[in-house]
Structure 1
Amino acid sequence: MRTLCPLSDETVRELENRVTLCRFPKKYRLIRENTYAKYAYFIEKGMTRSYWPVNGTEVTTSFSCEGGIVFSMDELYYGKASEEVVETLEEVEAYSIPLAELTRLWQTNIELCNWGRIAHQNEYRRLHRSHKERLTLSARERYEAFREQFPDICRRANLSYIASYLGITLSTLSRLRAGEPCGNGMSILT
């Protein structure tokens, strides 16, 4: 958490006094669609995947690992039930904090407010970059950029989740990983 911006020991203690250590099994849904989660989770160990259920399929929107935070933006910012699902991909240890308490801390502690701003700034940049890549890069280039940006996720996440995140089919991703040619030399755009 301190890697986003400097936090004083006093601020860290204030946050530590308001979080609870939780453990979740693999495939557990921390946040469910159309439900109020009421908590944010600081991931200490393990990995999660966020996705939107769309017409019977799951469209992966992000991954979070050690040092990340997951919560329902719909709930925190708009007071609405989550449209997104967050599930654990591994056993997860996380520190939970009620969203109301996190909001109060952001309103009363400038260091945590800045930490939250920087976290959201970084997430916006990731989303913006992902959107641009989906619109401008070939499937191969998207995968290479993902692999460079998130090497740990490439090793730990199911390939179908990575393909969904990249907006390509699993078979296309498998061919890219195997280094097979793309047919007539054209870029694979799926």
Structure 2
Amino acid sequence: MSHHLIRHIERFIPVSEQLAARLQQIGKEHTLEKGAYLHKPNRVCTTTYFIEKGLVRVFYRKGEKEITDQFSAEGEWITSIHSFLKNVPDACYIQTLEPSALMGIDLQQLEQCFLDFPEMERFGRMLMSTYFLEQSERIISLQFHTAKERYEFFLKTAKHKATRVPLGMLASHLGMTQETLSRIRAEKDAF
């Protein structure tokens, strides 16, 4: 198992040798090409993934249109949060946008790890708090900010992803048309 995951967790909690050994035991390495699916609709998502390398997105389909909900890159987690937490099928897709190396952890094994290592449960709570705060900020941005402000917010909070994400997917994520995003970028580049 890569040490990326351990170093990431150590940013939040101390990791004992016993916890590191458990993570080694339950973590499954995945090396995927660009365009691979980690999850598809009508299935229960039983795995959460830590991204060691690459870029992954969560999206939904509405007719022929794809609506991108989330992008995650190195040092971040991705899963179908609704399906993972409620153990129910959902409507989302999780797809790699670049060749990616991920560490997958099964929900049942993660829950047992939480029981056996209270510090790991604390890590889980901290991670969920971070996720819900980011989602709350995104919803506020979508509801109350102009298209230009939403793009600037994305640059401020996820600049390392901006040049890696295809324009149409980024526009969808920001709740605007591709033409609007192109115009905003052109105006920004003009200054």
The alignment's TM-score, normalised by the length of structure 2, stands at 0.88
Q: Tell me which residue corresponds to 1:6.
A: 13
Report the Cα offset of residue 44 of structure 1. 0.7
Residue from 132, 135, 148 that aligns with 1:127: 135
Counting only pairs closer than 5 Å after superposition, residues 165-184 of structure 1 correspond to structure 2 as 165-179=173-187
Q: Deviations over 1:116-151 (max 9, x none)?
A: 111111111111101111111110111011111111
Contact 1:73 1:82 in 2 (8 A): no
Which of 71, 74, 78 pairs up with 1:70? Answer: 78
> 1:31 touches 1:82 (CA, 8 Å); kept in 2?
no
Distance verdict in 2 for CA 1:21–1:40, change over 3 Å: same
Distance 2:146 2:102 in 1: 36
Contact (CA 8 Å) 1:74, 1:83: kept in 2 or not? Answer: no
Partner of 2:164: 156
1:138 to 138, 146, 152: 146
Which residue, 54, 58, 75 being the options, matches 1:50?
58
Secondary structure, in 3 states, of the residue corresponding to 2:59?
Answer: strand
Cα drift, residue 71 of structure 1: 1.9
Cα offsets for 1:21-71 (capped at 9, x unmatched): 110110111011111343221111101011122232111111111111222
Aligned to 2:23: 15
Q: Does 1:31 align with 2:31?
A: no
Q: Report the residue type matching 1:9 in the other structure.
A: S
**Over the residues paired in the alignment, what is the CA RMSD in angstroms?**
1.5
Give the structure with the higher percent helix.
Answer: 2
TM-score, normalisation: structure 1: 0.88
Match of 1:112 among 100, 120, 127: 120
